[in-house]
Structure 1
Amino acid sequence: MKPPQPGPLRTALGPLSWLYGVWMRRRNARYDRPNAAARVAVPVISVGNLSAGGTGKTPLVRWLARTMLERHVPTAIVSRGYGGSAGAGPVVVSAGDGIRCPASVAGDEPWMLANSLDEAIVVVGSDRTAGARRAVELGARLVLLDDGFQHRRLARDIDIVLLDRTRPFHRDRLLPAGLLREPPASLARADWIVITRSGSPDGAERLETAIRSYNPSAAILHADHETEELRDAAMAVMPRPARTVAFCAIGNPERFRSDLERLGLEIAGFHAFADHRRIDAATLRRLRGQADDAGAELVTTEKDLARIGLDTAASFGLRVLPIRTVVRDGERLVHAIEERLRRQPG
């Protein structure tokens, strides 16, 4: 997702951004009051962002969930289920025993998380308080609130905010003239800030200075992602091809392109569709034909695989490029979550 470029359109959208900022500040003031948010019986860890568009949130949620599951903590992911038909919910995508509904109901990101985390509880619905309570009924001892920074109806014990190093938030504007979902001052609510697309703190001094001007005390971590080998629809590792035709419908398509290039793959064609768009069979046939003509493999992302479906992906011979998050000093965050679990009554 890209903001409007400087010019007449962005200038014209300025008054709408101002009105949006007024509304958001009033909304936040309402939830800043004591006891304004509902609580559930287990710790809630919110993972969210300040901006619209891809910041690496889903891979970080997966990393956190997998880490806590490996430490034998029954963990749930509660999500709105954007792009799915769950409505208010709660709809159980998985109770840790297999996927119960398709991505058309769950939304592509929750389905992808459930598909890659066998033991995780995944619940979707716009009423995330009800979703968290359902997760607790299913045995969760920890709830990860996916994309939760703006969802303030549900109280959280730790607020994690992701900031994309390649898109400095302090130079952006509020929606719709920019990509900011909230004024930068909202960063003061964060307990932990993870700078994504950042393998090291070297060279990030200006961004960290901007962060400290709004939040002098939050812990700051740096995270990046690593690509794995290409896989088929069943997630079996496949040989690396010489050429690819690639397509995606995600928030940051250029990151996908650069990941393919870093693997040394020649890109014979690249198609970026609107975020969360469902790629239909006619489009897949056209892309498959282009790949065949170019002597290339047809490659997409895990999120797109969720929308397309495993059977359809297999029938078109799609290849998938998985990614995983690498968090520098991530053990500090895990330790903070474990400390919060130890303090939980009962």
Structure 2
Amino acid sequence: MNRNFYQTLGRPLSPLYSFAMRLREQFYANGVFASHTFDVPVISIGNLTLGGTGKTPLVQHTARLLLANGFRPAVISRGYGGSTKERINIVSDGGRPLLDAGYVGDEPRMLAETLPGVPVLTGIVRRLPAEKAVEMGADVLLLDDGFQHLAIRRDLDLALFNADTLAGNSRVFPGGDLREPVRALYRAHAFVLTGADEGNIERAVRFKHLLENKFPGRPVFFSGSRPAGLVRQVKDGRRMPAQASELAGRRCFAFCGIARPEGFQKNLQQLAVQPADFKALPDHHAYKEQAVRQLVQAAEKAGADCLLCTEKDLVKLRGLALPLPLYGVLMQSAPESSLDKLILERVGGKNRRLPQ
């Protein structure tokens, strides 16, 4: 049974869920539910739709942008998929990763590994790790997947859409792809269409105009996402830079546990990699011993001589003894320079502890 089938079954429940989300939004707007304000700027990077929209690469880009301009950002995440129940988890103190992916979730661990100098903290009640980050010296807070997290007020609220899927079927969960009704987008300060390329640009431009007409005064930006390179993960968990030429003539078994596996397949095409076989796993897939054994068996059946996955999957495979070389694809977000300008303007305007 495919996703459309389940959405058809869930369609009668969509109005009920939609009403609940609208009521929740009103409770925050009217002060029934508390919303905390920080003295430092808060940037939220999130989305209205279910599934992947390229949030993590944009979080990485924004953190590096702020670092390069003298700020001290920290990333705050819920830590989806991690086993921890602690209220505050310091995944990285800015110096090095401290907690593993199984404990805090794959995306926070990946951010901790790829953002040296940037603290990464998680917690279900995100106000608490946010307060801790400020105590640690952060002067900008980045909320990863924060659009629905209304308990923290933000100075810049970015709502992302994937240029391939846009708003999906425009129905609210469980009958569709939306986490909230479309009217929730009035909370956004700007929109970002990610993953735009030659194959989807015409439709994405039409969607851009639709957003501009329906939500006037809110700019719409494009952000490309491209493979930034390859790494090979060795048995002790270290990553070694690798060249795409290393995969020339090899039979790779490709796999991923992300929301949009078709996006990873597109990345492989950009790298001119033709995998011997491809396996799509559930988002935030936990690589237990049996699951890894099944992957290896599938690779061997396909006659593969190496494994290839996303960077997000790579962090969960550290320390596992694999009989085949393991490679990962690094991704890089490339937004319009005007989005960078907006981010720096909002941060500079609010920040009460400007960089020295």
- Helix, strand or coil at the partner of 2:45: strand
Does the aligned pair in 1 maintain the 2:42–2:154 contact within 8 Å?
A: yes
Stretches of structure 2 that go unaligned for 5 or more consecutive residues are none
Say yes or no: does 1:15 pair with 2:15: no
TM-score normalized with structure 2 length: 0.89
* Structure 1 residue 69: Cα displacement: 1.3
Say yes or no: does 1:251 pair with 2:249: no
* Structure 1 residue 94: Cα displacement: 1.0
* Structure 1 residue 22: Cα displacement: 0.5
The one-letter amino acid of 2:23's match is R
Does the aligned pair in 2 maintain the 1:17–1:175 contact within 8 Å?
A: yes
Say yes or no: does 1:28 pair with 2:37: no
* Structure 1 residue 193: Cα displacement: 0.7
2:239 is matched with which residue: 235, 239, 262? 235
Does the aligned pair in 2 maintain the 1:123–1:135 contact within 8 Å?
A: yes
Aligned to 1:301: 310
* Structure 1 residue 65: Cα displacement: 0.6
TM-score normalized with structure 1 length: 0.91
Does the aligned pair in 2 maintain the 1:199–1:223 contact within 8 Å?
A: no
* Structure 1 residue 191: Cα displacement: 0.6
Does the aligned pair in 2 maintain the 1:93–1:124 contact within 8 Å?
A: yes
Aligned to 1:189: 187
- Helix, strand or coil at the partner of 1:232: strand
- Helix, strand or coil at the partner of 1:279: coil
The one-letter amino acid of 1:218's match is R
**Matches of residues 35-184 of structure 1 in structure 2 within 5 Å?**
36-87=34-85, 89-169=87-167, 171-184=169-182
Stretches of structure 1 that go unaligned for 5 or more consecutive residues are none
1:162–1:107 distance in 2 versus 1, CA, 3 Å: same
Does the aligned pair in 1 maintain the 2:212–2:220 contact within 8 Å?
A: no
What is the RMSD of the two structures over their aligned residues, measured on CA atoms?
A: 2.4
Aligned to 1:219: 219
* Structure 1 residue 295: Cα displacement: 4.1
Deviations 1:44-75 (A, max 9, x none): 11111001100000110011011111222111
1:134–1:228 distance in 2 versus 1, CA, 3 Å: same
Does the aligned pair in 2 maintain the 1:185–1:214 contact within 8 Å?
A: no
1:110–1:325 distance in 2 versus 1, CA, 3 Å: same
Give the whole-Å Cα distance in 2 for the aligned partners of 1:27 and 1:14. Answer: 20
Say yes or no: does 1:271 pair with 2:270: no
Does the aligned pair in 2 maintain the 1:42–1:143 contact within 8 Å?
A: yes
The sequence identity of aligned pairs, in percent, is: 34
Does the aligned pair in 2 maintain the 1:88–1:127 contact within 8 Å?
A: no
Aligned to 2:3: 4
Give the whole-Å Cα distance in 2 for the aligned partners of 1:237 and 1:326. Answer: 21
Deviations 1:135-184 (A, max 9, x none): 00111000001111101011111101101121131742110111100111
